[in-house]
Structures are given as structure tokens and as C-alpha cells.
Structure 1
């Protein structure tokens, strides 16, 4: 079922952890009935301990606290902070918990990559920020650059329902069958503003391509400008063709991508696409100041998205992801201004002839990385023809 825009919301942009974590912790401290949190990483560092302490205090005062983490991204959590939360009365589940012996299997690529929280059924957080100290970025100027939003209004009900649904699925799969203690909440959050927004997810059943289709619909309708920031950018053929077609009809298309090497395979595979993207008239800016972790976009100054989904095969085809799509000129202007500042202070434009000027061994490395990613997607059986040349 296609997601729809829900009116009557108030949505506020949060830039990096310096804005996100104080807002999240304050909401947890004010919770009266329920805190429900999902995250890929829940690190045992200063930030993780602060969030865990707030959750423990909430559980001890009778708030229903549920925390769902990924079994790979937060593999140390169950025996550490997760144990402390359980002792405080919170419930903790792990999505596809990893075992000590690692083998390359298709299900290992299907991760919980969503970063969501709902407090008392009335306030939601959606974005790409893990529970980890983003100021601790050795070798770069902090912080790790990313975004989230707070949402108040009717859209919160859809986010809340999605989180409860996944909790029940994981509880059943792990034989954790004790029914959750559900608080008495208002039936539907009341209107808090005038912003229209959609909650869009990616899973392996009914919503396998919803996030990608939301992007493609907006790109196909773009008339003036497309600005996309993605930490990991390796789109399939349809997505690349849509961007090239937009540029061909006069739309200014700008990609803000990761300039530093964090995951070498994806970094060099992405560079294999630079020649074709630049030849299509697309502008590429590489962010070097710190690690870019953003997964956002602004189109024509009124369509915007913030979420957990990168534009790569692992996000678009395999992981569980969640984005909010906002139709609002004011919100889009705020996000665009933030991205422009990031580009002005920490990014370099890639020259049109840069791919041809790279040494032969770098070009070979990039093509080899791209071939390996395509092979991994093919082995997953989810890629179809999107990554065939």
C-alpha cells in the first residue's frame, strides 16, 4: 500500500548528535507512559551510557521502555548496556542476533538499520543518527555529520504502529512471547502544525521498494533542482537513469557524497560511477571535513526527506529502513540551508575530468570494488537487474 501524505504535523530538523541527543534524552526524561526506541548501533560510550541511563530512570518510574537493536551493529549491547536496562525493568530485543562464527549468508545482509523513537505516542524521532558519540571521530574534525527530525502530530501514529509491528515480529521470531505492557495512549495524536509528511519504510514483504519509489517519484517530477546527500551512494540503473534524465531536462542535480574512506569497498565502488554521473551533467561534491553520515534530500525547494536509508543496494534492497518525506517549503529551506553550509565549509567539487585523470590502478581498484558489490547483490537474490550493466 502506497504511503500517503498526512497533514497537521509539526516537524523540526535536528542537525547532528549535538542537537539530537539532548532532545531525545529530554523526551525520555519527560516520558509518562512509554518509550519505544530502535537503533542499528547502541554504543557503550559516553553518549550511549547517557541515553541508557535516561531509559533506565524511565523504566524505574514505571514507564514502559522497549529497546530494539540490530544484532550486528549493536552486537555488544545485550551483554552490556542491554543487561543494565533489563535490570531496570526495560524490555530489550535483538534483531537477527549474530553468533561468534561468521559465515557469508544472505540473511546476514538483512539488518535493522532504522533509527526511530516514539515517546508517549505523541512525539517521534526519525533519522539516521545511531546511539553513539559523534564527537569522538579520531582523525577528523567532529561531529559525524547527520540529521534527524522530531515529529508531533497525526503522522506519529503510523510510526508508532510500525515500531509495534516490528517488535511483535522479532518477539515471535526469538520466542520472546511475553506480551508487551502497552500504556493507555490517546487514540490519534492531535494536529500540531500544518506540515504534510509521509512515513516510508523498506522491508522484505510489502514495502520492498517504497523508499526508492518515493525518491524516483520526486526526481521524475523535479523541475529546478535536486540536492541529495548520501553517505553511501551506489544506486541501481533506474535511479541513475532518473538522475541523468532530470539533468538532461535542465534540472540542476547535486550529490553530496562521502569524501573520506570509511568502508573501502563502497567508497571505491561509488567512484566507479563518477565518470557516467559527471558526463550526464550531475555535480558531485565530496565532503572531507569529517565523516558524512547523512541520508537526506531536497527537491525543488519543497520536497524533502530525512531518514536512515542510504542510496545503495544494502539500504534500498536488503536492510530495514525508515524515512520521513516532508512536503513543506519552510522545512525544505531549513534542510537545504544546512546542506549548503556543509558544502561551503567541508566539501570539494569533483572536476568533470577527474575520473580520467586518476591513475590507472585507482580506476582498476574502483571497477573491481564495483564488481564485488554487484556480485554480493546478485548472491543476495534481491538485486534483480538493477546492478547489471
Structure 2
């Protein structure tokens, strides 16, 4: 259900996100929740940790939850400093075997969100680390988005962050940390925008993010712009996009151009021929590494969040997105996506596929088969997802 009365601010990359996040933490008076998949002890991570420690030292209850695999390399020194300052740090599923396909260990905390005093929320795809790739000075900043929000919808972020925190604390036998937050989030009207907070877990909300995408795509009338760093859609999303293109909707996909996660990168190319044959436009982002997970439909519906459109996000990980129905917000995101399409991306044509069959046909087929096998072994229906 969409909740009215909110105000949203679109944040571009870490250059917008981190100052806004740190400012909010610096103003915190009662409570901070922060979740991230990656957390590096670089200049950005240190700045965020210093803000969290300062908040804890002035009496704010600070709950920092990181993924046990993605952020497992956080230095022990900084873990000690956080604890000494009073920051409560939890790692979601910390015991990970890198080569294990155990279904439990593939369930990651991939959400990137923050809630300050139950009144200010942040959500998006941005991890706590520098926008710039180490040892690649020629690379542009990582391409990503987040949203700052105030209004009644923040209460839902707070409830979700508190619930996930308490569950992790309970599993790790930290009973004193597993108590429900006593903070009453603000429900005051802050604007006129309607938004919906949607998360994915492995219980009652397994398909919620996918369903929200599907509904918007099926009702699209004019245009769909979908930007996703790791794009390996399942049967239903794939055919919804193809059906939209065939009924005259302009469907534009912006995906990762630089090889980051090689297996998913090449597996996604296995669908290029099918999409191009249906009239879908495909662009690969080349300026730097793309990490965005956003979409705009008919210049009025938009989403920003942590969920990729791939089997890991849609079948396994804990994810969180915000969906917004408002022309100004959607228009701002659309304008930035169009700029990226025009200036920072390369369009893929059918002739490209015919010219280099190894890159666009043979290698993707092999990677696609490996992904299906891995998801099948995990026991979460990955084979059916990719049929």
C-alpha cells in the first residue's frame, strides 16, 4: 500500500549520500539504525564510523548491522573502537564458507538503509565505501543512487530495521540487544508524495519486490527505463518486458558494461538477442562501474533500492526498495538516466551480437548454465527462475 504525506530527495552517488547520511547521524538524539552489505575502512567508512561513535558517546543508541560476508573484512581495530564508543555492531550470518552453496549461507543482508530517530530515512543501493575503485584512477565514480525521506513512510523503515536487528541479535544470543525499540517513529506529514516501502525476506515477502516490478511493467503505457547493475531476470520479468515492447511501449535497459561479477555479467548477455528481437533497447554503462538498481515507468512511477534483478536478489537475499508515485521525483530520476544513456553508455545492436558470437552467444550460454546449476543446488528454484 502506498503511503501519502512524504518528502523524498534523490541522492546521486556517494557525493550526495554520505554528507546527507553523516549530517543526519550528527543530529541524532535517540537512535540510529544503519544496514549495509559492504563497509570498507577507507576515508568514507572511517567518516561514517566516526559519526556513529560520536553519536553513541553522546548517548544515542546506535545499531550497526553489516553482512557477515560482504563486510567480513572490517578490521578488528575498528570493531574494537566501535564497541568502546558504545556502537552496537552485529554481523548478519558471519560464518561463511566462500565456496559453499549451502542455502542458508547464500542468504545475505544486501539492504542499504538507515533510520535516524524514527523520523529520517535513507534507502538505496549505495554501500559504505568510496565511490572510486581502488587502483583504477581513470575510472569515473561508481554510478548509484539513494533516497533521503521524511514523512509517515519512515515508520515502516524503522519497524523493518528494528525487526531484522532483533532477529539477528536473538540468533546470536545477544538478548540485551534483542529488545524491541521503544522509540515511536514520527507519523507527521512532511510532503505530498506517495511512496511504498517494499522489502524481500525468505518468509512472507519473498516475491514482493518482483511483484511490484511486474505490476508496474504490465500497466506501462509509454516508456520503461530500467537500470540494473546485475541483470538476470527470471521468466516472468523477462516476458513482461518483452510483452510491453511488443504492445508499443518503449523499453530501455541500462546494464553494467564493465566486467565486475563475470559470471552474472556474461550470463545476462544470453538474453540480449531475445530482447533485441522484441524491440527492447539495450545500453551498457561504460564511464565507470555501475551499481544502480532503479527504474522509471511512464514518468510517474519510480523505484530506488538495493535489489538487483537477478536470482541472488530475487530468490535469496534480504533486500529493500522504495517505490514512488510522483512526477517530479520520477522526472528527476528519468532525466539523469537519459543523460547517462546518451553520454556514458554504449548501445548494443543486433549486428554486435552477430559480429562477436563468442562474447554474446557462446560464453553467455555457458555462464547461464553455471548460474542455473548453482541456483538449483542451492534449492531455491533457480532452474525454474531462469527457464
- Class of the TM-score when normalised by the shorter of the 2 chains: over 0.9
Question: Counterparts in 2 of 1:130-279, with a 5 A limit?
Answer: 130-139=127-136, 140-179=138-177, 185-279=183-277
Offset of 1:359 from its aligned partner? 3.8
Structure 2 Cα separation of the partners of residues 99 and 312 of structure 1: 21
Aligned length: 386
Offset of 1:13 from its aligned partner? 0.1
**What's 1:104 paired with?**
101
- Distance 1:102-1:283 versus aligned 2 partners, 3 A rule: closer
Offset of 1:364 from its aligned partner? 1.8
Contact 1:109/1:319 (CA < 8 Å) preserved in 2? Answer: yes
Offset of 1:186 from its aligned partner? 4.3
Structure 1's unaligned 5+ residue stretches are: none
- Superposition TM-score, scaled by structure 2 size: 0.96
> How big is each residue's C-alpha offset from its partner over 1:160-204, in whole Å with a ceiling of 9 and x where there is no partner?
000000011101111111146777644533010000000000110
1:115 aligns with 2:112: yes
Contact 1:39/1:113 (CA < 8 Å) preserved in 2? Answer: yes
Structure 2's unaligned 5+ residue stretches are: none
- Distance 1:242-1:234 versus aligned 2 partners, 3 A rule: same
Q: Describe the SS at the equivalent of 2:9.
A: strand
**What's 1:46 paired with?**
43
Q: 1:9 aligns with which of 1, 6, 26?
A: 6
- Superposition TM-score, scaled by structure 1 size: 0.96
Offset of 1:384 from its aligned partner? 5.7
- Distance 1:378-1:84 versus aligned 2 partners, 3 A rule: same
Structure 2 Cα separation of the partners of residues 329 and 361 of structure 1: 39
Structure 2 Cα separation of the partners of residues 220 and 137 of structure 1: 41
Contact 2:166/2:179 (CA < 8 Å) preserved in 1? Answer: no
Offset of 1:355 from its aligned partner? 1.6
Q: Describe the SS at the equivalent of 1:349.
A: strand
RMSD of aligned alpha carbons: 1.6
Contact 2:101/2:374 (CA < 8 Å) preserved in 1? Answer: no
Q: Structure 1 residues 168-177 or 4-13, which shifts more?
A: 168-177
Q: 1:334 aligns with which of 332, 335, 342?
A: 332
Contact 2:69/2:96 (CA < 8 Å) preserved in 1? Answer: no
Q: 1:19 aligns with which of 6, 16, 24?
A: 16
Structure 2 Cα separation of the partners of residues 91 and 308 of structure 1: 23
- Distance 1:102-1:377 versus aligned 2 partners, 3 A rule: closer
